[in-house]
């Protein structure tokens, strides 16, 4: 059997007719940028997450860097972020000239809230929480700390569409919730797309102006902005997918539950979800000390896997200038050396699932 780590075609196939009808409708409409699909999606997505306002943007990275830009964070400022994240989280900070200050993750792959306070200095302006792999981070301590030290709180929800802490959706705890709709995300478009969710009306207006060259009224530019518009086609297709998000997340949760129930191999460490959090299983990430051997073993059996992520941002060439060497973040580095994402996608068949489980259980 051949099993790929992800099968986006399966997620598409289930709702193919709806997607095709919407695509044709938009193509025939004669209106392609910032129209009724975008404004409707913004309303529907804000309602889904329970945030006040949503502003559609061109990508998740844009959501992050524009968020820090509009919160006034720049050169000389520090932003606290977990070490074990996708590099885009960190680029969202450094594109503004600010400095990322790394904190180790907890055992659930979220930022370790108990290690934040010791990293706060007079230059600290914000905390960026990444709900990695779909697990909602434990937000109680983090929101309290941000209040105590008057720090901005930004959430990277690129992997957590629909995940909650204490029944509250990720993306609504802080000043800005940043979302990516890259095709492989839980809520994926058919190209690049992103959005922010914010509480504050004035801030929402700023995002709308900033994404469109800083202009509110055509050819009257208030600020130096950028081009980060969500297009009508992607917004329309996202509107088709959004009402199915919960059922798609539920299906992934069922697959995850099977993995957790049936995987029984002392060589593997399985993912866990904190008590008051939910997980939308963007990835099912295991850890294995003999990861290279496990990868080749699975490959031989036709099972594909991915490492999220092999090189933590602080050790990547791009961030050599920060001067952090190996050993700077031992837990982050240990995770980078042992994590492995096993196949997890909508439309995974029972046969595929059992095949993967059996292969993993037979690994010696």
Ligand X SMILES: *Cc1c(COP(=O)(O)O)cnc(C)c1O
Token reading at 36: 């009724």
Residue window 316-355: x/- pattern of binding to ligand X, with contact defined by CB under 6 A: ----------------------------------------
Regarding 102 and contact with ligand X (CB under 6 A), the answer is no
Across-strand partners of 194?
57, 180
Regarding 155 and contact with ligand X (CB under 6 A), the answer is no
Regarding 294 and contact with ligand X (CB under 6 A), the answer is no
How deeply is 217 buried, as exposed, middle or buried, from its count of CB atoms within 10 A (0-12, 13-18, 19+)?
exposed
How deeply is 16 buried, as exposed, middle or buried, from its count of CB atoms within 10 A (0-12, 13-18, 19+)?
exposed
Regarding 130 and contact with ligand X (CB under 6 A), the answer is yes
Choosing from 49, 55, 57, 61, the residue that interacts with ligand X (CB under 6 A) is 61
d(CA 4, CA 1): 10
d(CA 313, CA 319): 7
- CA distances in angstroms from 82 to 57, 79, 119, 131, listed in the order given: 24, 10, 11, 10
Of the ranges 6-14, 83-91, 259-267, 346-354, which one interacts with ligand X (CB under 6 A)? 83-91
How crowded is residue 28: how many other Cβ atoms within 10 Å of its Cβ? Answer: 7
Regarding 271 and contact with ligand X (CB under 6 A), the answer is no
Regarding 60 and contact with ligand X (CB under 6 A), the answer is yes
Regarding 182 and contact with ligand X (CB under 6 A), the answer is yes
Of the ranges 102-110, 154-162, 211-219, 260-268, which one interacts with ligand X (CB under 6 A)? 154-162
Are the beta carbons of 342 and 289 closer than 8 angstroms?
no
Nearest distance from C-beta of residue 308 to ligand X, angstroms: 8
Of 191-250, binders to ligand X (CB under 6 A) are 192, 194
| Site size with ligand X, rule: CB under 6 A | 15
Of the ranges 30-38, 66-74, 80-88, 220-228, which one interacts with ligand X (CB under 6 A)? 80-88
Are the beta carbons of 63 and 57 closer than 8 angstroms?
yes
d(CA 14, CA 337): 36
Nearest distance from C-beta of residue 62 to ligand X, angstroms: 7
Of the ranges 152-160, 266-274, 295-303, 309-317, which one interacts with ligand X (CB under 6 A)? 152-160
């Amino acid at each position: 059997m051949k099993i790929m780590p992800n099968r986006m075609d399966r997620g598409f196939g289930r709702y193919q007719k709806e997607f095709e009808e919407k695509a044709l409708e938009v193509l025939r409409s004669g209106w392609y940028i910032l129209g009724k699909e975008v404004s409707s999606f913004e309303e529907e997505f804000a309602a889904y997450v329970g945030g006040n306002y949503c502003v559609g943007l061109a990508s998740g990275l844009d959501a992050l860097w524009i968020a820090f830009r509009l919160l006034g964070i720049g050169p000389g400022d520090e932003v606290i972020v977990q070490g074990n994240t996708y590099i885009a989280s960190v680029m969202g900070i450094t594109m503004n000239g600010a400095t990322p200050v790394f904190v180790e993750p907890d055992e659930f792959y979220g930022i370790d809230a108990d290690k934040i306070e010791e990293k706060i200095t007079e230059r600290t302006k914000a905390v960026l929480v990444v709900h990695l792999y779909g697990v909602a981070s434990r937000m109680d301590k983090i929101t309290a700390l941000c209040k105590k030290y008057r720090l901005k709180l930004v959430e990277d929800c690129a992997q957590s569409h629909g995940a909650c802490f204490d029944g509250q959706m990720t993306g609504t705890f802080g000043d800005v919730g940043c979302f990516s709709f890259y095709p492989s995300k839980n809520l994926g478009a058919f190209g690049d797309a992103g959005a922010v969710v914010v509480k504050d009306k004035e801030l929402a207006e700023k995002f709308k102006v900033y994404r469109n060259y800083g202009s509110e009224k055509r050819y009257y530019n208030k600020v130096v902005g950028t081009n980060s518009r969500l297009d009508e086609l992607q917004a329309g297709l996202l509107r088709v997918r959004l009402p199915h998000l919960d059922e798609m997340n539920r299906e992934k949760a069922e697959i995850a539950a099977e993995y957790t129930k049936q995987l029984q191999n002392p060589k593997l460490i399985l993912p866990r979800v904190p008590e008051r959090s939910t997980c939308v299983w963007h990835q099912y990430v295991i850890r294995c000390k003999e990861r290279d051997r496990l990868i080749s073993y699975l490959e031989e059996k036709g099972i594909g896997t991915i490492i999220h992520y092999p090189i933590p941002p602080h050790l990547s060439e791009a961030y050599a200038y920060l001067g952090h060497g190996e050993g700077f973040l031992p837990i982050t580095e240990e995770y980078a050396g042992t994590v492995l994402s096993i196949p997890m996608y909508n439309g995974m068949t029972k046969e595929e699932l059992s095949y993967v489980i059996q292969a993993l259980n037979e690994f010696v």
